[in-house]
Amino acid sequence: MSVDDVEMLEDEQIEEEAIPENMEEVPDESLVALKVHDKDIFTISLSQDGKRLLTGGEDDKAVFWNLENVNQGMTLNRLLEGHTDSVVSVAFNGTNTLFCTADMAGKIQIFDSKTGEKLYDVDYCDDLEWTIWHSQADILLAGTSSGQIYMFLLSRKQIEKVKTYTSETNAPCVDGRLLPGSQNLLAVYGDGRVISWTLKDSSYMTLKLHTAATALDAHFEHPLVAVGTGNGVTHIVNTTNMKSVLKLGVVDKTESEEQVEDSVETVKFAQGYPWIAVGSSNGMLVVYDYETGQARHECAHDTMAVVKCMWWKPDANSIRILSACIDGAVRCWDAKSGDPLLFKCGAGQEIFDFTMGLVNNEPLVFCACAGGYVRVYRYEEKQLELENDVLQEGDVEKVEE
């Protein structure tokens, strides 16, 4: 596919389903809306230098984007084919020299980050759930639906070394995070196991929770991880002894009772503050103080599932919490006060993943959406101040401490 095949769509050009007469059409407030994938986009990743973007979708394809002149439009560098199932993970390495694409059939492809040229394939894994790059070397870690974890030592020419990590569980390895120092990997599983792996010798410690793990994040500095579960409970785990030291979101039901409407979908530690954001399928994003165990703010999403959240510091004195929701909207709150700051609609098309970063010194939000669309939103503090007054008062409920 050539660059000319990429169609930049204005709001009125985007095809939507017929809207009932008693409902208003949901606007598209994105800066740019692009359709290249034939089906839903599941995953999106921005390079650390803000110059390249990756997307992967249900159409068995990944797309490599050039963001050098994003204000004039995103440029399609290369359409990445060769997958035989949905692409569920895309990621750049820490030096922006390599990137990977991975599909549900177990195939990983390794590419040159500057040109988008494929270097080689890794095609002997089980069905893949996730991939992450080591922060200090060209080492790729991948979790599978069979519970196995692979570690690949890579060069530009070939796979130099392969190692596998296997425990007593055959449950899917839902997610993984490197712990501070990057010597240990924390992995969570569909049967509720939480395992800390020592990468060098394959030794491990295990914590068994009562319900399936659904979300994971690791603290930047401290030996703490947050594990969200299918029944709405988030465990703060001390990774030195693998003990659950705090439970957030506990309600009046047995801990083993899994309820889809309460499932934790996303957890994220704030850098520089003792806070963690927990987003659930019930449409609530709660900011907790994990030192006190108290909720600071509850940020409502009209009962629509929160897909992902992330923190953003526009300056040294401010911190924001952003979220993406299945209603197709991007929201932003002041994390200190809980005040709503931004609400951007995306034509009502479901968001499956999003990321944010500086592109040409401008903060931009990139969303992977239903129907094969990538949407880009401009983040501007002046705009936030202007839009603050038009949001509904019920968007944020301050919780008494």
Give one word for 335, left, alpha or beta, with left for phi > 0 and alpha for psi -120 to 50.
Answer: alpha
Which string of b and e fits 125-145 if b means at least 16 CB within 10 Å? Answer: bbebbbbbbbeeebbbbbbbb
How high is the pLDDT of residue 400?
36
Mean pLDDT of the chain, nearest integer: 88
- The residue-averaged pLDDT of 127-142 equals 96
How high is the pLDDT of residue 392?
46
Tens-digit pLDDT profile for residues 174-221: 999 999 999 999 999 999 999 999 999 999 999 999 999 999 999 999
Give the total number of structural domains in the chain.
Answer: 1
Closest to 81 in 3D by CA, of 103, 65, 112: 103
Tens-digit pLDDT profile for residues 84-102: 999 999 999 999 999 999 9
Give the whole-angstrom CA distance, residue 153 versus residue 157. 11
How high is the pLDDT of residue 203?
97
Residue 2, Cβ density class (10 Å: 0-12 exposed, 13-18 middle, ≥19 buried)? exposed
Q: Would you say residue 186 lies in a domain?
A: yes
Give the whole-angstrom CA distance, residue 180 versus residue 156. 27
What sign has the CA pseudo-torsion 219, 180, 95, 129? Answer: negative
Q: What is the largest CA-CA distance in the chain?
A: 63
Q: In the structure, what pLDDT confidence band is assigned to residue 317 with cuts at 50, 70 and 90? A: very high
How high is the pLDDT of residue 145?
96
How high is the pLDDT of residue 19?
38
Give percent above pLDDT 70 in the chain: 85
Q: Token pair 């990429």 is at which residue?
A: 6
Q: Would you say residue 209 lies in a domain?
A: yes
Q: Would you say residue 392 lies in a domain?
A: no
- The residue-averaged pLDDT of 328-340 equals 94
191: Cβ contacts below 8 Å, ≥ 6 apart: 169, 171, 212
How high is the pLDDT of residue 68?
80
Give yes or no for a contact between 162 and 140, defined as CB atoms under 8 angstroms apart: no
How high is the pLDDT of residue 221?
96
- The residue-averaged pLDDT of 155-176 equals 94
Q: In the structure, what pLDDT confidence band is assigned to residue 233 with cuts at 50, 70 and 90? A: very high
Give the whole-angstrom CA distance, residue 155 versus residue 150. 16
Whether 15 shows a pLDDT value over 90: the answer reads no
How high is the pLDDT of residue 380?
78
Q: In the structure, what pLDDT confidence band is assigned to residue 251 with cuts at 50, 70 and 90? A: low
- The residue-averaged pLDDT of 311-333 equals 96
Q: In the structure, what pLDDT confidence band is assigned to residue 48 with cuts at 50, 70 and 90? A: very high
Q: Would you say residue 277 lies in a domain?
A: yes
Q: In the structure, what pLDDT confidence band is assigned to residue 14 with cuts at 50, 70 and 90? A: very low
Q: Would you say residue 274 lies in a domain?
A: yes
Tens-digit pLDDT profile for residues 362-400: 999 999 999 999 999 999 766 666 555 444 444 443 333
Q: Would you say residue 183 lies in a domain?
A: yes
How high is the pLDDT of residue 259?
55
Q: In the structure, what pLDDT confidence band is assigned to residue 12 with cuts at 50, 70 and 90? A: very low
Q: In the structure, what pLDDT confidence band is assigned to residue 307 with cuts at 50, 70 and 90? A: very high
How high is the pLDDT of residue 296?
97
Q: Would you say residue 93 lies in a domain?
A: no
How high is the pLDDT of residue 253?
53
Residue 179 Cα to chain centre, angstroms: 17
Domain CATH for 201:
2.130.10.10
How high is the pLDDT of residue 260?
55
Residue 285: which domain range?
Answer: 177-251+260-297
Q: Would you say residue 239 lies in a domain?
A: yes
- The residue-averaged pLDDT of 153-161 equals 92
* Predicted TM-score (pTM) of this structure: 0.88
Whether 7 shows a pLDDT value over 70: the answer reads no
